[in-house]
Amino acid sequence: MDFRLTDDQREVQDVTRRLARTEFLPQAPRWDQEQDAYPAEAVAKLAELGYLGMSVPEEYGGLGYDAVSYVVVIEELAYASAALAILVAVHNTVGAWPIVRFGSEAQKKALLPRLAAGEVGCFSLSEPDAGSDVASLTATARREGDHYVLNGSKNWVTNGAHASIFNVFAKTDSAAGGHGITGFVVEAGTSGLDLGKHEDKMGLRSSDTVSLSLSDLRVPASARLGEEGMGMKIALAALDAGRIGVAAQAVGVAQAALDQAVAYARVRRAFGKLLSDHGPVQTMLAEMERRIVGARLLMYRAAWLRDQGRPFTEAAALAKLYATESATYVTHRAIQVHGGYGYVKEYPVERLYRDARVFEIYEGTSEIQRLVIAREMLKRAETIEAPAREAVASADNVGKRLV
Amino acid sequence: MNFDPTPEQQAFLESVRALVRERIAPHALRWDEEGKWPAEVLPDLARAGLFGIYAPREHGGRGLDTVSYALAIEELSSELPALAIALSVNNSLVANPIARFGTVEQKQRFLTPVASGKLLGAFALTEAEAGSDATRLSGRARLEDSGYVLNAEKVMVTNGGPAGLFLVVVATEPEKLGRGLTAFLVPADAPGVTRGARDQLMGLRSSDVRTVTFDNVRLGPEHRLGEEGRGLSVTIEALNAGRVGVGAQAVGIGRGALDRAVRHAGRRRQFGQTLGQIGPVQQMLAAAHTEIEAARMAVLHAAQCRDRGESFSADASRAKLSASQAAVLAASTAVQVFGGWGYLTATGVERFHRDAKVTELYEGTSEMQRIVLAGSLTRG
């Protein structure tokens, strides 16, 4: 048992930290505050350094990073800018990775080198009336000879405004519920793929979020991702991986908020002493710190399990739930430590607070994570034979001690 | 990076698990109800090396690492938390500082029997008027002729009744506060050692906790552990490791409670479905489990830091702080999932609720852990 990063992973962390804190961190307030700002230069820089190919194998032009290195990168990017981190995370985990895992050889050869080189990928599953309840989505894909024709409305497409490649999910069999969903890889600019409104959001303001309308969108059958009916499996697998990325984002933002709070507490005086010498402030800082460390370890564990090729659905849900709730808590307390200054844009903590708020919502709400976790707990409990010692709590045998 | 136990850690864990299943689980509920000190199982635990898990083999220990210790304490605690603390005290608060500060003779005379389970250890620091503020002890030892005379009244001494050896911390130079403390190894049969009646506790009812008084106890210099004035270092060494143990104990309490709650949720039917199919029940089970899992990571992380010889004071505080809060939440959740049945002693979950609370109190309250942790952030 050794929870430390390997030397290679540590190297990735050092390099990315330096890049993110010198080049991106100073720009984060501007990206946040300018209307429709898009960190194009940062994306170009990240592409040049290979970060847009983290999940793409080397044979297709990517870096072929393991999942632990990946979360290390996302955490460091999020420390500087959560909006930039989600752009890179979505691109890698739900943009490129489904093609790596489920794509045909032809799709991989055609698409992965482009994604690794800096064309942005995105993922379109949610609809106005179908979010967590994936099986109820209503977009359709009708087979017509060598093509499919897609129709429907899509929402919450992160990276949608700048993406070249869209992973779109629609129903090929409306009667089959979740088993009737199929994935498609659609090129930007295809006739019938229309970008809708650009959402004006509370946080992550320089990350673009668009709606899509699919109007008789014709794609060749060769654009189908996996088999017909595999879409839900692909989407859920992508989201499992995506959740570790969101956990990493949350850890990065929370660490940034804690560092701000500590720095402030060490210089600001009240009642004749530093804030850091006031018990109630110490209490807040300690509670912030312990959550971040716990979240980071859960995140590493989920990523490590994924790298071992072992089941990691529950581990990813645990990591996302704990990390995102921690980010909510930590960014809230970071403002509290700053007092009134925390509420003004001159200090970064109000941005961190706004950015963090979505972490408990996207790629599966906290409620969905708890549902996933509870189901795994109940499944495990079924496999454990109830020990004889237990007096089962039911009307007919309570009080009958079995020991 | 590796989140799996090593084969050695795994093998040890499985041996502890089997022991707990066969020798402890069948009796835990009754022992708690009767407040029975589980003397009958101690020889089995001694044979398994649980009294000196990370103590050196040449001194009667099992010679494993702190991770193995944390895994074992969690396992014991998932069935009988009182036993977990009895062993954690013996391992971390007594055997550990002797291994660290003891002379060769002290190790032979005291560590070997303590680590092998022949002599139970207890740690006597707290006094009626000195709890978290351990630097203002009123217990004294003064040098006379060729030895020390020790006078102290120590309260809430875990293992106080059955202990054969007390590690006692008192002031030798009271005006120096923390730098004037000294630790002593006091055999329980030394003239002047008196044990009070067993304290009645809210939880951990199988624990033996009591006041122990030391009345003009005469000790040769060979009983002094470490140098004069180093008592605080001995205490910190003991408590840092002890907090990893309390963290592991708390994780075990949370897991023990939740395992019972999940099994119950899978069987109990209301409104035509199992509790486990009901949304709010799922949400609370998962929320508590998540806190426990995060806490286990923090505990095992602190254990690894200790095994690498790193300074791990903040890590130990974080582990205990996280785990104790998680345990309280998980145990309360378990009772809630059982509903009214959970309030009955017979169903075996309310005891975890009672046991959990003390993990936020002993070996440093949560408030003290937060001060340690905040200090590590804001200093330097």
CB contact under 8 A, B3 and A305: yes
Q: Is a pLDDT exceeding 60 seen at residue A400?
A: no
DSSP3 helix / strand / coil % (chain A, rounded to 5): 55, 15, 25
Q: Is a pLDDT exceeding 70 seen at residue A97?
A: yes
Portion 222-281 of A in contact with B at CB < 8 A: 258, 262, 265-266, 276, 279, 281
Mean pLDDT over A196-208 rounds to 94
Q: What is the pLDDT of residue A386?
A: 52
Q: Is a pLDDT exceeding 50 seen at residue A389?
A: no
Give pLDDT tens digits for A256-265: 999 999 999 9
Q: What is the pLDDT of residue B357?
A: 98
CA distance A199 to A98: 25
| Cα of B274 to nearest chain A Cα, Å | 11
Does the pTM surpass 0.80? The reply is: yes
Q: What is the pLDDT of residue B103?
A: 98
CA distance readout (Å), B26 to A117, A389, B30, B81, B262: 62, 5, 9, 14, 20
Q: What is the pLDDT of residue B279?
A: 97
| Cα of B41 to nearest chain A Cα, Å | 16
Q: Closest to A393 (Cβ–Cβ): which among B264, B291, B370?
A: B264
* Set of chain B residues whose Cβ sits within 8 Å of the Cβ of A4: 1, 304
The torsion angles phi and psi of A46, rounded to 5 degrees, stand at: -65, -40
The answer to whether A197 faces chain B, any CB pair under 8 Å, is no
Does an H or E element contain A186, and which?
A: strand A181-187
The answer to whether A10 faces chain B, any CB pair under 8 Å, is no
Q: What is the pLDDT of residue A132?
A: 83
Task: Work out the percent of chain A whose per-residue pLDDT is above 70.
Answer: 95
* Set of chain A residues whose Cβ sits within 8 Å of the Cβ of B21: 387
Is residue B137 within 8 Å of residue B170, measured between CB atoms?
yes
* Set of chain B residues whose Cβ sits within 8 Å of the Cβ of A281: 374
The pLDDT-based confidence of A123 (bands split at 50, 70, 90) is very high
The torsion angles phi and psi of B181, rounded to 5 degrees, stand at: -95, 150
The string over B124-163, giving b where at least 16 C-beta atoms fall within 10 Å of a residue's C-beta and e elsewhere, is bbbbeebbeebbebebbbeeeeeebbbbbbbbbbbbbbeb
The torsion angles phi and psi of A309, rounded to 5 degrees, stand at: 70, 25
CB contact under 8 A, B374 and A282: yes
Token pair of A385 as six digits: 């034979």
Q: Is a pLDDT exceeding 80 seen at residue A388?
A: no
Q: Closest to A3 (Cβ–Cβ): which among B266, B304, B373?
A: B304
Q: What is the pLDDT of residue B305?
A: 98
CB contact under 8 A, A286 and B321: yes
CA distance A306 to A325: 22
Q: What is the pLDDT of residue A393?
A: 40
CA distance A119 to A111: 9
CB contact under 8 A, B370 and A283: yes
Residues of B identified as active-site: 363
- In chain B, whose CA is at the least distance from the CA of A9? B1
ipTM of the modeled complex: 0.96
Q: Is a pLDDT exceeding 60 seen at residue A401?
A: no
Pairing of strands B273-274, B193-198: unpaired
Portion 337-396 of A in contact with B at CB < 8 A: 367, 369-375, 377-378, 380-382, 384, 386-394
The pLDDT-based confidence of A392 (bands split at 50, 70, 90) is very low
Mean pLDDT over A30-55 rounds to 95
CB contact under 8 A, A377 and B3: no
Q: What is the pLDDT of residue A241?
A: 87
Mean pLDDT over A273-288 rounds to 97
* Set of chain A residues whose Cβ sits within 8 Å of the Cβ of B374: 276, 281-283, 285-286, 289
CA distance A187 to A201: 26
Q: Which of A68, A37, A69 is nearest to A50 (CA)?
A: A69
Is residue A68 within 8 Å of residue B1, measured between CB atoms?
yes
Q: Does the annotation mark A363 as catalytic?
A: yes
CB-based contacts of B303, cutoff 8 Å, min separation 6:
B65, B66, B67, B69, B70, B244, B248
Is residue B233 within 8 Å of residue B97, measured between CB atoms?
no
| Cα of B205 to nearest chain A Cα, Å | 18
The string over A273-290, giving b where at least 16 C-beta atoms fall within 10 Å of a residue's C-beta and e elsewhere, is eebbbbeebbbbbbbbbb
Question: B234: buried, middle or exposed (CB in 10 Å: 19+, 13-18, 0-12)?
Answer: buried
Higher per-residue confidence, A386 vs A195: A195
Token pair of A235 as six digits: 């989407």
Strand partners, A123: A167
Q: What is the pLDDT along chain B (380 residues), one digit of tens a residue?
A: 999 999 999 999 999 999 999 999 999 999 999 999 999 999 999 999 999 999 999 999 999 999 999 999 999 999 999 999 999 999 999 999 999 999 999 999 999 999 999 999 999 999 999 988 988 999 999 999 889 999 999 999 999 999 999 999 999 999 999 999 999 999 999 999 999 999 999 999 999 999 999 999 999 999 999 999 999 999 999 999 999 999 999 999 999 999 999 999 999 999 999 999 999 999 999 999 999 999 999 999 999 999 999 999 999 999 999 999 999 999 999 999 999 999 999 999 999 999 999 999 999 999 999 999 999 999 86
- In chain A, whose CA is at the least distance from the CA of B380? A266
Task: Work out the percent of chain A whose per-residue pLDDT is above 90.
Answer: 92
Q: What is the pLDDT of residue A49?
A: 97
